[in-house]
């Protein structure tokens, strides 16, 4: 039985470990933290439970598939519900829009509140579904770095529809062509943040993202987002995967351009037939293989956005808020220019508020709420984060007061803050970027690192910093691509 090491236990690392174990590889996972999950984590404070990382669950079928491949029932490990309400949107002029999971109702509400012509939303989501159908087989489920992909049926279908995929236009331009109200444009522009990019730079292919949330659905595990990582960890254990927690890898040993072993920080040397890194690709090269020539063209690409997150325990309830809430900036373009151009946070930031206690009452004491407050932030390039954090906290509280007429600060009974420096430290993400490289140009998908090394044999990569991209669904999809390439590669050795 051939032995494979996996560095890191984020969703991509867990998924690749499961797939390789099903393929009868002997798999060992090395994790520097005391628990699995990577950016998916949770913590408790004074009776409140917080999801520390991702807050939205889409494409649950990709997670279910892992259990089904192992002959298990996903519901024996975790359950999730489809949300009846997608998001509540707020603007400072007191415009408010609650979007339900019923697309016809969504269309009606946008017509009533934002004066768009009836059918505009339905047409947009229909086109989003068409683009996803064309592009997913090529860009999400297969390697872009194998010739067979470009000679496949999916590729030729893509070639025939290339001019309708939005590759040559920006996301913002496409949304402005689709809608008449700037607020509707802003609503859809925000989906560029789902991969840490700017709608004013990223291509209009990003219009496939709303398809995931509206046509397929937004979901929430019954015990919160960390339940995803916990369930995958349990499945991996049942399949014989061995986990080493608090076990930081110091070096990937490469001999004659062949990955042969791992050296842990305590000096232990373990030999393997293949190594899969779920660690960000940049520190994988620069820290774990300093003796190897790194692919600097790839590593030097602009990083995706990061986040500044305030976890607040609030000692009262607010009925005007739901699970997912957005308080929009008055100048979205200036906000993104600050993030990617000035590497700063705009003084009127868009605020995302996630309150899981709306659905999971046990996440907060009775009469209270757990607020996960996220601001899009630049990646860490040495900014004065303490000053930025204090300035931004003040801006958030003032914006909440202007928009919701809530004086929130007296109701904050517990607080924890996560900035890009801490994200970088906790998850080994280069510059604290949440999604690896940004997608702020039309070539970004092709500039992501492949799921394998072209220079070092038996070295593979998985997770949000490599193809196909960041976020739970894409990280899990990358595991499918990586495990298939690895299995074929070792089969012929």
Please report whether residue 110 resides in a domain.
no
| Residue 153 pLDDT | 67
pLDDT digits (tens, 9 = 90+) for 418-458: 999 999 999 889 999 988 888 777 656 666 888 999 999 99
Percent over 70 (pLDDT), the chain? 92
Check whether residue 318 and residue 427 sit in a common domain.
yes
More confident residue, 170 or 163: 170
Task: Examine the fold and report which residue of 191, 214, 237 is the final residue of a domain before the chain moves on.
Answer: 214
Do the domain assignments include residue 236? no
User: Strand, helix or coil at 255?
Assistant: strand
239, part of any domain: no
Q: 375: burial class by Cβ within 10 Å (0-12, 13-18, 19+)?
A: buried
Whole-model pTM: value is 0.93
325 plus 428 within the same structural domain: yes
312 in the same domain as 420: yes
Q: How far apart are CA 493 and CA 473, in angstroms?
A: 31
Q: What is the mean pLDDT of residues 326-353?
A: 97
Examine residue 484 and state whether it is found in any structural domain, yes or no: yes
Question: Which pLDDT tens digit goes with each residue over 400-416?
Answer: 999 999 999 999 999 99
Percent residues over pLDDT 90 in the chain: 81
Same domain? 344 vs 384: yes
pLDDT at 147 over 80: no
Residues 388 and 401 in one domain: yes
What pLDDT, on the 0 to 100 scale, is given for residue 261?
Answer: 96
Point out the domain boundary residue: 172, 194, 214.
214
Whether 399 is in a domain gets the answer yes
What is the per-residue pLDDT for 302?
A: 87
In tens, the pLDDT along 23-59 reads 999 999 999 999 999 999 999 999 999 999 999 999 9
Other Cβ atoms less than 10 A from the Cβ of 465: the count is 32
Residues 410 and 310 in one domain: yes
Report the pLDDT averaged over residues 371-377.
97
Number of domains the chain is built from:
3
Judgement on whether residues 478 and 373 belong to the same structural domain of the protein? no
Task: Please report, for the domain that includes residue 258, its CATH number.
Answer: 3.50.50.60
Asked if residue 39 lies in contact with residue 10, where contact means CB atoms within 8 angstroms, the answer is yes
Q: What average pLDDT score do residues 297-314 get?
A: 92
209 plus 124 within the same structural domain: yes
In-domain check, residue 26: yes
pLDDT of 156 strictly over 50: no
- Tell which residue, 372, 347, 346, has the closest CA to residue 358: 372
- Same domain assignment for residues 97 and 201: no
Q: What is the mean pLDDT of residues 333-359?
A: 97
Judged by average pLDDT, the poorest of 311-325, 369-383, 462-476 is 462-476
60 and 142 within one domain: no
85-89, 125-129, 135-139, 177-181: lowest mean pLDDT where? 135-139
Task: Kindly state the helix (H) or strand (E) to which residue 354 belongs, with its residue range.
Answer: strand 351-354
Residue 109 lies in a domain: no
pLDDT digits over 84-122, tens only?
A: 999 999 999 999 999 999 999 999 999 999 999 999 999
Shared-domain flag, residues 457 and 360: no
Phi, psi of 113, rounded to the nearest 5 degrees: -85, -40
Q: Which domain holds residue 442?
A: 3-34+245-301+437-491
CATH code: domain of residue 47? 3.90.660.20
Residues 425 and 314 in one domain: yes
- Cβ atoms 262, 284 nearer than 8 A: no
- Domain end marker among 403, 418, 434: 434
Q: Tell me if 113 is assigned to some domain.
A: no
Q: Are 451 and 462 in contact (CB under 8 A)?
A: yes
247-302 residue pLDDT tens: 999 999 999 999 999 999 888 899 999 999 999 999 999 999 999 999 888 888 88
């Amino acid at each position: 039985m051939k032995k494979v090491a996996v560095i890191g236990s984020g969703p991509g690392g867990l998924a690749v470990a499961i797939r390789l174990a099903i393929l009868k590889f002997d798999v060992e996972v090395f994790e520097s933290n005391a628990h699995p999950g990577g950016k998916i984590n949770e913590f408790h404070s004074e009776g409140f439970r917080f999801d520390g990382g991702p807050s939205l669950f889409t494409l649950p079928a990709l997670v279910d598939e892992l259990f089904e491949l192992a002959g298990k029932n996903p519901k024996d490990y975790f359950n999730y519900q489809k949300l009846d309400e997608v998001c509540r949107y707020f603007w400072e002029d007191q415009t408010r829009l609650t979007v339900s999971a019923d697309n016809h109702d969504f269309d009606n509400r946008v017509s009533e509140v934002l004066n768009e012509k009836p059918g505009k939303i339905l047409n947009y989501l229909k086109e989003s579904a068409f683009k996803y159908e064309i592009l997913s087989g090529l860009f999400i489920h297969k390697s872009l770095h194998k010739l067979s992909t470009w000679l496949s049926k999916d590729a030729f279908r893509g070639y025939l529809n290339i001019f309708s995929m939005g590759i040559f236009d920006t996301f913002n331009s496409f949304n402005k062509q689709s809608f008449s109200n700037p607020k509707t444009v802003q609503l859809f522009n925000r989906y560029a943040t789902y991969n840490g990019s700017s709608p004013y730079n990223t291509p209009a292919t990003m219009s496939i993202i709303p398809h995931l949330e509206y046509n397929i659905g937004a979901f929430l595990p019954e015990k919160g987002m960390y339940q995803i990582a916990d369930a995958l960890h349990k499945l991996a254990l049942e399949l014989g995967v061995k986990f080493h927690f608090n076990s930081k890898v110091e070096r990937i040993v490469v001999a004659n351009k062949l990955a042969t072993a791992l050296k842990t920080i305590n000096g232990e040397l373990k030999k393997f037939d293949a190594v899969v890194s779920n660690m960000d690709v940049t520190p994988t090269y620069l820290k774990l293989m300093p003796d190897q020539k790194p692919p600097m063209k790839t590593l030097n690409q602009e990083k995706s956005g990061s986040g500044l997150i305030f976890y607040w325990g609030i000692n009262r309830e607010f009925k005007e808020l739901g699970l997912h809430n957005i308080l929009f900036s008055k100048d979205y373009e200036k906000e993104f220019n600050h993030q990617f151009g000035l590497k700063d946070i705009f003084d009127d930031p868009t605020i995302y508020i996630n309150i899981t206690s709306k659905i999971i009452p046990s996440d907060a004491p009775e009469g209270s709420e757990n607020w996960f407050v996220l601001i899009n932030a630049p990646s860490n390039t040495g900014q004065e984060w303490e000053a930025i954090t204090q300035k931004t906290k003040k801006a958030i509280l003032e914006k909440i007061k202007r928009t919701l007429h809530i004086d929130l600060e007296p109701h904050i009974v517990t607080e924890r803050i996560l900035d890009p420096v801490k994200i970088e430290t906790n998850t080994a993400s280069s510059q604290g970027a949440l999604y690896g490289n940004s997608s702020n140009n039309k070539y970004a998908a092709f500039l992501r690192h492949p799921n394998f090394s072209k220079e070092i044999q038996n070295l593979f990569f998985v997770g949000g910093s490599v193809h196909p991209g960041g976020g739970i669904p894409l990280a899990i999809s990358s595991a499918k691509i990586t495990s298939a390439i690895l299995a074929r590669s070792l089969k012929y050795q």
